[in-house]
Structure 1
């Protein structure tokens, strides 16, 4: 299994898909607990949710599961949310704080996994962002995520449907955040928040450099927006998803249209 699948397009928009992969090498899978082997913390069906919404969009998808290594974590292992419960570069627990490993990987193994899986994904993502920027003078990274809407270990209460992250405005031009948040706020029947519990993971924070003509924004969707239930088998709900895809299409189309504007800004 190759670490990453890239579909190159001619749009100024690049979709990152770091958490939809479910491949786990056999020797790693055997060391997961039965709970870990369910791969429950996958961003279920997010690749399907965005498929076909924007012509010419580039997609960069990690094929490996986050249990192998998390493609949206700082490769140094530094926490994205100091002082808050979270999962690391190789998660030792699931999102409910329950152990994932019968035998936890040590530092040497984690580094080997970083080199084999994390690094190729980010090499591909960086290459695509630079390629797109060379075509358009600007690139916009839209990082695609989903998570269960109720996870007491990670946050209180129920998560909004649309969770927009720009690291408090640092990773993209203000107009990008404003347009996306405006679309989400206007989506009837859905709730939204900007830079709430999820402010953008390592991918958004690392690549979002507006001064270098690369803008990044993260979208964390509550899984209740497109799944039949937020539990195994995490089945895709076609009717829910189609309602949601209308708004996601508007977001992607609007971001592509914004590229000329933000590309001309200094």
Structure 2
């Protein structure tokens, strides 16, 4: 029996947190065809639900994917149009972030169709429905798309990523005042940060962020070295995590509080 596409918990605030790349479940066909390196699931956004556990006191709604991005990438558009120039991965990835092949034989069209209909579509429908509910209740809705990635991946980008990488689709996915409010939080600690650098927001941020409709979206891509071991076995590092968790909490609290000041 296949697991459900995602876990969803409805909150009591205007905020919806999405975690589309934390899933580790595999369909039978994908599991059978992964290369040995790919079977380790190295491109997973490891441990984010644990890292974000303290933000539950803000009472957000949360949607957390169950399936690996190797089955279907929930942060890519259904038509699989590329979001970034240069090397990237698509709706149905064929390579690891290193550029190595994911599979030792091709995945069937039937598998892809199943993944799109049973995983991708329900996840996006739940986001759409929850944002509509939040807007109806509060007059506006806030989406925060949470991600993490290894800090150095030459196949995808040069050099080393900043610790905190905010994406707003070049300012089009939300009111610029919301991001401006986060900058003092970033400046008050030792973590490096950038807005709309290599990561400008994936499909979820770009598609659902509609500030003219009072739906505002922000992506945070976090360098994994700030809270975990970036290589196998991808261990969670509690001492490091404890240092970044108050920053995450402050960012999300500020996001919510500034929105309330602006929109109510």
TM range, smaller chain: over 0.9
Runs ≥4 residues deviating over 6 A: none
Q: RMSD in angstroms over aligned alpha carbons? A: 1.2
Paired residue secondary structure (2:233): coil
C-alpha distance in structure 2 between counterparts of 1:25 and 1:182, whole Å: 44
Aligned to 2:68: 65
C-alpha distance in structure 1 between counterparts of 2:250 and 2:132, whole Å: 25
Matched, 1:198 2:199: yes
Aligned to 1:113: 115
C-alpha distance in structure 2 between counterparts of 1:211 and 1:76, whole Å: 24
Deviations 1:202-241 (A, max 9, x none): 00000000011100000000001100x2101110010111
Ranges in structure 1 where 5+ consecutive residues have no aligned partner: none
Residue 84 of structure 1 deviates from its aligned partner by 1.0
C-alpha distance in structure 2 between counterparts of 1:168 and 1:181, whole Å: 16
Paired residue secondary structure (1:53): helix
In the alignment of these two chains, the number of paired residues is 261
C-alpha distance in structure 2 between counterparts of 1:39 and 1:94, whole Å: 9
Paired residue secondary structure (2:119): helix
Contact persistence 1:54–1:249 (CA under 8 A)? no
Structure 1 residues 106 and 182: alpha-carbon distance in aligned structure 2, compared to 1, 3 A threshold: farther
Paired residue secondary structure (1:44): coil
1:11-26 → structure 2 map (5 Å cutoff): 11-26=13-28
C-alpha distance in structure 1 between counterparts of 2:202 and 2:245, whole Å: 23
Aligned to 2:163: 161
1:134 to 118, 136, 153: 136
Ranges in structure 2 where 5+ consecutive residues have no aligned partner: none
C-alpha distance in structure 1 between counterparts of 2:184 and 2:127, whole Å: 27
TM-score, normalised on structure 1?
Answer: 0.95
C-alpha distance in structure 2 between counterparts of 1:6 and 1:53, whole Å: 15
Aligned to 2:146: 144
TM-score, normalised on structure 2?
Answer: 0.96
Contact persistence 2:94–2:102 (CA under 8 A)? yes
Aligned to 1:172: 174
